[in-house]
Amino acid sequence: MSTIKTSVNRRSFLKTSALAGGGMLLSFNWLLHSNIKAIAEEQIPEGWFEMNAYLKIATDGTVTIMAPNPEFGQNVLTSLPMIVAEELDVDWDQVVVEQAPFRTDLYTRQFAGGSQSVRQGYNALRTAGATARQMLINATAKVWNVSASEITIKKGILKHTSGKTSTYGEMAEAASQEKVPESVELKNTEDFTIISSSKKNVALPDIVSGKSLFGMDYKVPGMKYATIAHPPAFGLKLKSYDGTEALKMPGITDIFDIDIYNEGYELNIFDTATFPNLVVVVGDSTWQVMQAKKALKLEWEPFEEHTLKLNVFGNKSTQVVPAGLESSEDHWEQMDAKSKEPGTVVRKDGDPETAFKNAAKVIESTYTAPFLAHNAMEPVNFFAHVTEDKAILAGPLQAPELTEPTVSARLGMSKDQIEIIMTRMGGGFGRRAYSHEVVEAAVISQKIKNPVKLVYTREDDMTYGIYRPAYHATFRAALDENNKMVAYHIKTGGIPESPLHANRFPAGAVDNYLAESWQINSNITIGAFRAPRSNFMGGSEQAFLDEVAVAAGKDPIAFRLELFEKAKTSPVGKDNDYEADRFIALLELLRDKSNWEISKPGVHRGVAAYYCHNSYVGHVVDLKNENEKLVFDKVYSAVDCGIVINKDAARNMVEGAVTDGLGNAMFGKMTFKDGVPQKSNFYNYRLIRMPEAPKDIEVHFVENGKNPTGLGEPPFPPIFAAYTNALSRAKNKRHYNHPFEEEML
C-alpha cells in the first residue's frame, strides 16, 4: 500500500455529516489530488476548492456514488465510480451511480473533453474511497472497543480478528461522526478487484428500455418549440426577413430575430460568432416550426471585415474575421502557395540545412485533409425556461461550467439564478462544447416568456460551422548512405489554424530537425474535433514515415523502433512530449499480437502509432480484396493508457475510434462554393456503413501499472495512417489527399 495525505489545506475536505435518517456522506475535493500541473496554493482559484463529488453510504449498506462529468458515450458514469468503489472496498453490486447535478459551488471540471476525466480524477477518487474506508474502520474500532489495526474490510464487510463482523450500513452513521484522517493507505495495484475488471454500463438498462435520458427527451407541460434560420453562406449576414406567410401557418405563434451576444461581448473559449444574428420560428411542434421556416422570406447581405474580442481564461485578445465568400478551390490554392513560403520556425535541432544538402537520399511528400463536420447523431437541441428571476436550461452539453458565464452575461442574470441540467449526450466529439444553442434557447425563452425547446434540423447543424479545419503538411526526410534518417523537416498549416505539435515524435529521435508553421485566416468557423490537430498530424506524419521506411528498405515497425531507441538512449532536445520506452513497448506488443512478421496471402497491411492526450496507440489494418472490392478484414490495436479502469468501456472506446476514423478517412469531406457548404445531410455527407466497418477489431492493452490516461481521443489519429499505409500497398501507389472514397468503392 501507499500512503497519501487526504488534505492539502483546511478546505480539502469541507465536511462529513450524518445523512437524514442516518448514514454517511463524505464530500471531497476533486482536483487537489489529481494529476494536474502543480500550482502554488495562492495561485489556485477559489472555485477549484469547491466540493466536486459525493460518496454516500446508507444504513442499508447501499453506496451511492455521484459522477460529476457529463456523459456522452465515454462511459465515465461507470468508470469514475469504479475508482471510488475500489478503494472503498465495497461490493460493486451494492453501488448505485447517479449523475451529479451541475453545481459550481460543489464541483469543479464538470467537462467532457480532452480525454482527461479519468486521468484528472484518478487520485482524488481513490483518496475519497480510501478515506471513507478508514473512517469506517476507525468508527468500528470505537464501537467494538478494539484497535483499528485489528479490523479488515472486504466487499463492504468489516471484520475483527475475533471473527466479529459488521456491514458498512450498520457503521455508516458512526463513521459520519469521525474526523477525516490526515492520511490514508491506498491499495497496491495488484490488489485491485474492481479497477481493471469489466463492468457493464450502469445506464444500459435505461438506454435499452428507452428511458428519457437525452436532451431531445426533455420536455415540460406548455413547452413551445423553436427552430432557427441562419445565413446560407459564410460571409453573409441577415439583411431583412418577412415572416407574414409563415406566421399564418398552423401552430406558429411567433417569428422574430435575435442577437446571440450583447454588443461588445468578449467571447470565451467555447463561444462562437458564426452567425450572431438569427431568425427564429416558434410554434407548437417541431414539424410545424420546420415547415414554417420554409415559408420565411429571407434576404442576406455580405458582411464587412470585423474584429471579435476574446477573453480566454483571462487572456484577452482580438480576432479578425475577414469578409468574402470563400471556396474550397481557392483554399487549396492558397494553402499550396503558403506552403512554399518560409513558415514560422517553432523548433530547430542540429543543422537540418546541411544534413539535407549532404543526404544520400531525400524523400518529400505533401498531405492534405479537408474540413470535417461533427455529425453527432442526436440533433442539436436545448431546453430553456427563463423567468424574471431564474433560468432553467437542460440539454446535451460538454462544458456547462464554461457556458454558464456566457448565459449569465447575455441574460443579465447572476450565475446563482441559472440552473443547468446535464442530460446524456447522443454524441459530441467536441461539437457540444460550443454553447451557442444554449444561449439561443435562453434568449428565445426570455423573449416569448415561455419554456421552449430549440431543435436544429440536420441541415442547420451541418451548415452552421464549427468544423474540423482544413490542413496541409509538407514533409522531408534525409537518409545517409546507410539508410539512417539523419534529418526531418515538417512545414504545416491550415485554414484557419496550424496542426503542428512541434515536440512530438520524431522530434527527439533525429539529430537534425526543423518544424515550421503557418496559417490562413478564414470566416469559416472551426472548433474542437476528436483529437484536435492530432487527427491530421497523426495520419499524415505516420503515413510519411511509412514512405521513409520503404525508401530506407526497412520494415515499418523495425524502422520506428530504431528511431525510438535513439530517442530513448540519446534523445535530442529537452522538450519531447513522449516517453520513448512506452512507445517501444507499445510497438512490440502490436507487432506480436498482429503477427506482423508473418505474411498473410492476399492481405495488405499497414501500421501506425501515435501519442496524444497522454496516451499511446498503435494500429495494424488488414485490407483484403473480396469480389473486386477492398474490405477491412481485421484491425489490431495496441493501447498504452496506463491502468485500464473498465476493460469493457476501454475496448468500446477503441473500437468506436477505429470505425469513426476509418469512416472519416474514406468519406469525410466538407467543401464550400462562394461560402456555401456543399453538403447538408447524410445523403451527400457520406458516413461509414455497417457492411463497410472492419469485420473484427482486436484490442490489446499494455499493462505497465502506470496511472491511467486518456482514451476517448488517442485511438483516433493513428487509424488514418494505418489505413493509408495498407491502402498504398493494396493499390501499389501512395495516397496523399483525404478522403479515399474512390479507392474503396
CA distance 128 to 27: 8
- Candidates 590, 566, 555; CA nearest to 488 is 566
Higher local confidence (pLDDT), 102 or 108: 102
| Residue 663: per-residue pLDDT | 96
What mean pLDDT comes out for the span 664-687? 96
C-alpha cell at 152: 479488515
What mean pLDDT comes out for the span 698-703? 97
Domain range summary for the chain, segments of one domain joined by +: 2-9+43-193, 215-307+380-455, 342-372+467-743
C-alpha cell at 127: 483518496
Running DSSP on this structure, what letter comes out for residue 265?
A: P
Write the pLDDT tens digit of every residue in 607-630.
Answer: 999 999 999 999 999 999 998 889
| Residue 12: per-residue pLDDT | 39
Helix, strand or coil, per DSSP, at residue 672: strand
What mean pLDDT comes out for the span 352-367? 98
- Candidates 544, 540, 518; CA nearest to 341 is 518
Q: Is the pLDDT of residue 706 over 50?
A: yes
| Residue 182: per-residue pLDDT | 85
Q: Same topology for domains 215-307+380-455 and 342-372+467-743, yes or no?
A: yes
- Candidates 547, 564, 536; CA nearest to 477 is 547
Between 189-203, 278-292, 474-488, the lowest mean confidence (pLDDT) is in: 189-203
Peptide bond connecting 81 to the previous residue in cis, omega within 30 degrees of 0: no
CA distance 573 to 172: 54
Spatial CB neighbours of 252, under 8 Å, sequence gap ≥ 6: 246, 281, 282, 283, 288, 289, 292
Helix, strand or coil, per DSSP, at residue 624: strand
Running DSSP on this structure, what letter comes out for residue 23?
A: -
Residue whose entry in the numeric block shows the C-alpha cell 488514418: 720
CA distance 616 to 529: 19
| Residue 206: per-residue pLDDT | 86
> What's the 3-state SS for 130-189?
HHHHHHHHHHHHHHHCCCHHHEEEECCEEEECCCCEEEHHHHHHHHCCCCCCCEEEECCH
Q: What is the DSSP string of 324-387?
A: S---HHHHHHHHHHHHTS--EEEEEES-HHHHHHT-SEEEEEEEEE-BB----SSPPEEEEEE-
Average pLDDT of the residues of the chain: 90
Ramachandran sector of residue 421 (left: φ over 0; alpha: ψ -120 to 50; beta: rest): beta
Please report which confidence band the pLDDT of residue 8 belongs to, taking 50, 70 and 90 as the band edges: very low
| Residue 120: per-residue pLDDT | 78
| Residue 111: per-residue pLDDT | 74
In angstroms, what CA-CA distances link 570 with 14, 510, 557, 563? 48, 10, 20, 10
Beta bridge partners of 688: none
What mean pLDDT comes out for the span 87-111? 80
Please report which confidence band the pLDDT of residue 5 belongs to, taking 50, 70 and 90 as the band edges: low
Q: Is the pLDDT of residue 13 over 80?
A: no
> What's the 3-state SS for 707-725?
CCCCCCCCCHHHHHHHHHH
How many C-beta neighbours within 10 Å does residue 702 have?
A: 21
Please report which confidence band the pLDDT of residue 72 belongs to, taking 50, 70 and 90 as the band edges: confident
Handedness of CA 194, 196, 202, 205 (dihedral sign): negative
The class (CATH top level) of 215-307+380-455 is alpha beta
| Residue 178: per-residue pLDDT | 85
The class (CATH top level) of 342-372+467-743 is alpha beta
Q: Is the pLDDT of residue 297 over 60?
A: yes
Write the pLDDT tens digit of every residue in 211-222.
Answer: 889 999 999 999
Please report which confidence band the pLDDT of residue 106 belongs to, taking 50, 70 and 90 as the band edges: low
Phi, then psi, of 132 in degrees rounded to 5: -60, -40
pTM of structure: 0.91
Spatial CB neighbours of 422, under 8 Å, sequence gap ≥ 6: 70, 99, 101, 102, 110, 397, 400
Running DSSP on this structure, what letter comes out for residue 101?
A: P
| Residue 574: per-residue pLDDT | 85
What mean pLDDT comes out for the span 527-533? 95
**First CA to last CA distance, the chain:** 56
The listed CATH number (3.30.365.10, 3.40.50.300, 3.30.1330.20, 3.40.50.970) that belongs to domain 2-9+43-193 = 3.30.365.10
Chain centroid to CA 462: 19
What mean pLDDT comes out for the span 249-256? 98
